Structure 1
């Protein structure tokens, strides 16, 4: 039976980060979830890795019970400062990072400045390496953000456009289903808008990040899904081409099946 893991909170500059702590292993692992998820998604992974890692699964802002107190965009400097403060509060010196999908972008933003303290960087279908054209269109300019907001308020029109793009081959049907599931309610649409727009400055510098990872000999492990149409494996290539050393594993799975499979692999080869 999986034990119940209670939500804990960490305060930073008036904002709150909610998180869950899994396991009791000797190595600290900070884990970040994907869009529309929460730290609870790491329950199974935390259970299978409990002897090897103490997993700190943090809820990104606009997810779980985390609460962002400001109206300003979330910058890399702010995010790095928050996690540094969290590490200090938890008395963590060396640690590893894990990021799935959207969480991969946040993990990479930390690797830029914290590579000297990292044992491993574990990326699972990571966002933030290749920016999708749809994300650039929706967040990259004031007109784009206005149009994005307009479509979110007129979902029937957005759905019609999406199905039209699918019909002509410009949007994969799996990505369309993912979008429909992620924006089914008004609350979900607000989460999409806030996350996409407020997170747009969290963009890792791939040159700086790769140099830092190489310099400090961080073990980089990348997992992608052969059937993943949300974050295809090719999206990781711009980072991998810059690294001297990395481990790439392609799993026969779609996007949402990856994390639990990775947990089983890491349980056999944790370090």
Structure 2
């Protein structure tokens, strides 16, 4: 069972999933803003938090994840609920929505990972050779920086993306966490048209929030899903990636 923390009280349970390098505490301001309307249950994902939970097996499958969330819902006697995910947590929000779509009233996705998969992520996690190279570069950060500068010079990546990556990889502990997370979560993949078919079966309020200056998960990354949805709400905030949860808290 993943560590979960109840941060507020309200009539509708809200399951919240944080981004890479974060913990449940990132949702405390959001929970304060939602007090009285939502019971916010914020999870510490695998390899994150004060007492990180390690993965079970080589990779997290949707079947194993379904069992985890099913056990949580049973334990807390939750029938209907809402889901929120930020950045990497978007993968967990999408997986929850896919597996329990008939029980979900709201889906809130804040710059969500998992809709458009970065080619760098595919390269780093998709094959055994890619995973070996990924580990090698994480153990040779100066080399990774030089490659990053080259990719910036030819327009393959944005400077803010490299800065985000280097902040995430600043220490050996962070590099281990990033490697474990990317590798362990790689099976949480989605087919946008299939998701849209599920979401269209029952009325689910779907809200997207992105940052106008966000180059990590830009608004364009949502296109494969929103093009298949008949109704959704999209709010683009004048901010970058890091301050999105704070800005969304004020909006909600």
Q: TM-score, normalised by structure 2?
A: 0.97
Q: Does 1:226 align with 2:232?
A: no
Q: Does 1:180 align with 2:166?
A: yes
For residue 153 of structure 2, the aligned residue among 136, 161, 167 is 167
Of the structure 1 ranges 150-159 and 225-234, higher mean CA displacement relative to structure 2 is found in: 150-159
CA positional deviation for 1:193: 0.7
For residue 31 of structure 1, the aligned residue among 16, 35, 55 is 16
CA distance in 2, matches of 1:228, 1:70: 33
Q: Structure 1 residue runs of 4+, over 6 Å off?
A: none
8 Å Cα contact 1:112-1:205 kept in structure 2: no
8 Å Cα contact 2:46-2:55 kept in structure 1: no
Q: Secondary structure at the match of 2:215?
A: coil
State the partner residue of 2:7. 22
CA positional deviation for 1:71: 3.3
State the partner residue of 1:129. 115
State the partner residue of 1:60. 45
8 Å Cα contact 2:55-2:184 kept in structure 1: no
CA distance in 2, matches of 1:198, 1:253: 30
For residue 116 of structure 1, the aligned residue among 94, 102, 113 is 102
CA distance in 2, matches of 1:105, 1:71: 19
State the partner residue of 1:42. 27
CA distance in 2, matches of 1:66, 1:237: 34
Q: Does 1:92 align with 2:72?
A: no
State the partner residue of 1:156. 142
Q: Does 1:265 align with 2:236?
A: no
Of the structure 1 ranges 43-52 and 69-78, higher mean CA displacement relative to structure 2 is found in: 69-78
Q: TM-score, normalised by structure 1?
A: 0.90
Q: Secondary structure at the match of 2:64?
A: helix
Q: What is the aligned residue count?
A: 251
CA distance in 2, matches of 1:207, 1:136: 20
State the partner residue of 1:140. 126
Q: Secondary structure at the match of 2:225?
A: helix
State the partner residue of 1:4. none
Of the structure 1 ranges 91-100 and 76-85, higher mean CA displacement relative to structure 2 is found in: 76-85
CA distance in 2, matches of 1:121, 1:53: 13
Q: Secondary structure at the match of 2:199?
A: helix
Q: Secondary structure at the match of 1:171?
A: coil
CA positional deviation for 1:257: 1.0
CA-to-partner distance for each residue in 1:70-112, whole Å, 9 max, x for gaps?
A: 2321011111110111011011110000000001111111111
CA RMSD of aligned residues (A): 1.1
